[in-house]
Amino acid sequence: MAESGTPEDDLSVPRAALNKMIKELLPSVRVSNDSRELINNCCTEFIHLISSEANDMCNKSLKKTISPEHVLAALDSLGFGAYLEDCRSVLEECKTVAAKKRRASNRLENLGIPVEELLRQQEELFARAREEQAVIEQEEWSQLQAAQAAQQQQLLQQQQQQQGNGHVQPPAPANHAQDSAT
Amino acid sequence: MPMKSGFSHNRGLEKMADKSTKLTLLPVARIRTIMKSSPDITVIGQESLFLITKATELFVQHIAQESHSRSQNKNSLVYGNLAQVVDDDIAFQFLADVLPKKVLARDYLQSLENNS
């Protein structure tokens, strides 16, 4: 056993997690400290063993990433075929959890509506808003025109009234120059 | 001793994992760090990482229970029990360097004499 800590020694399964596992697997069994330490070392060796074998299988398959299939094949070829069944069910759980997370994150952000639908709705709202704005502007313009027309009408009537009452004298030839100012 | 297939003992591990929403008992991040310490390991997918973590848990269960079954005193587990498992199960041969059977000093000295 190494006395001084080399960097490799720090790379092991956390002792607390391991102790907890051992405690629950073998309740009321006194497990000596050096046994625990050894189980820890065995874990590290196991991890290296499986990763190395899985890596070899990955290289042979000309793929870049170590896939679950590589790991399962490695376990089988190294004599740990008995682990396969339980490993496969964890794999299924993994996939289910990952799929749930993707669906959940979509829903939470968008109140249960998928992104494509939201974009479509947004576009509809924009189009409708543009239409309504155009109608409003048209109405305002019509109103403005109507108001102007009414004003002109009023002025015209006033003028006709004043002429009828005789308040405004038809311009005399002599005063022609003055009246032309109105 | 042949390995049992299917691991009926695994219900113990399942019960432990169900207590939380985590899929594994051992931390996946630490297992990745251990793997990466080996320079030739290429990229590993997340699901593969979970698999190896799970396999390691099964390994702990396996070796702990096999060792315990070999111990004389069922209330304790000592080094010798672990070392015995390496001898008996061919799948555990890779642990021969990590778990050498303790050699008595005089036997060692004897073998040195024999070799010279």
User: Token pair for residue A79?
Assistant: 């004599």
A85 C-beta neighbours (distance < 10 Å), count:
13
The verdict on A13 and A79 lying in the same domain is yes
User: Token pair for residue B2?
Assistant: 């042949």
The verdict on A12 and A78 lying in the same domain is yes
* Long-range residue pairs from A91-100, CB within 8 A, at least 24 positions apart, any chain: A91/B47, A91/B50, A91/B51, A93/B23, A94/B23, A94/B46, A94/B47, A94/B50, A95/B47, A97/B23
- pLDDT digits over B51-88, tens only? 999 999 999 999 999 999 988 888 888 888 888 888 88
Q: Give the residue numbers spanning the domain of A145.
A: 114-164
- pLDDT digits over B2-35, tens only? 444 444 445 556 555 554 457 789 999 999 999 9
Helix (H, G, I), strand (E, B) or coil at B44: strand
The verdict on A17 and A81 lying in the same domain is yes
> Is 50 exceeded by the pLDDT of residue B97?
yes
Residue A171 in domain: no
Query: B60, A21: Cβ pair inside 8 Å?
Result: yes
Please tell me the predicted confidence (pLDDT) of residue B14: 58
Please tell me the predicted confidence (pLDDT) of residue A59: 92
User: What's the gap in Å between the CA of B40 and the closest CA on chain A?
Assistant: 8
Please tell me the predicted confidence (pLDDT) of residue A70: 95
Residue A1 in domain: no
The verdict on A64 and A13 lying in the same domain is yes
Interface probe, candidates B9, B25, B52, chain A, greatest A C-beta count within 10 A: B52
Please tell me the predicted confidence (pLDDT) of residue B101: 65
How many whole angstroms separate alpha carbon A139 and alpha carbon A146? Answer: 10
A158 C-beta neighbours (distance < 10 Å), count:
10
Number of domains in chain A: 2
Please tell me the predicted confidence (pLDDT) of residue B2: 47
The verdict on A17 and A72 lying in the same domain is yes
Give CA separation, A64 vs B27, B28, B78, in Å. 24, 21, 43
Residue A151 in domain: yes
Residue A24 in domain: yes
The verdict on A11 and A81 lying in the same domain is yes
User: Token pair for residue A7?
Assistant: 């960097």
Shortest CA distance from A56: residue in chain B: B41
The verdict on A11 and A70 lying in the same domain is yes
Taking the model in full, what pTM does it have? Answer: 0.64
The verdict on A67 and A124 lying in the same domain is no
The verdict on A81 and A136 lying in the same domain is no
How many whole angstroms separate alpha carbon A39 and alpha carbon B69? Answer: 16
Query: A91, B41: Cβ pair inside 8 Å?
Result: no
The verdict on A14 and A78 lying in the same domain is yes
Rounded to 5 degrees, what angle do the CA atoms A95, A98, A100 make?
110
Residue A179 in domain: no
Give CA torsion, residues A70, A71, A72, A73, to 10 deg: 50
Residue A95 in domain: no
How many whole angstroms separate alpha carbon B14 and alpha carbon B22? Answer: 11
Query: B47, A95: Cβ pair inside 8 Å?
Result: yes
Helix (H, G, I), strand (E, B) or coil at A30: strand
How many whole angstroms separate alpha carbon A85 and alpha carbon A87? Answer: 5
The verdict on A16 and A54 lying in the same domain is yes
Residue A51 in domain: yes
Q: For every one of its 182 residues, what pLDDT tens digit does chain A have, with 9 covering 90 and above?
A: 444 444 545 689 999 999 999 999 999 899 988 889 999 999 999 999 999 999 999 999 989 999 999 999 999 999 999 999 999 999 998 888 888 888 877 776 667 677 788 889 899 999 999 999 999 999 999 999 999 999 999 999 998 888 877 655 555 555 444 444 44
CA A78 from chain centre, in angstroms, equals 43
Residue A174 in domain: no
Query: B33, A50: Cβ pair inside 8 Å?
Result: no
The verdict on A79 and A118 lying in the same domain is no
Contact call for residues A80 and B59 (beta carbons, < 8 A): yes
Give the domain CATH number at A17.
1.10.20.10
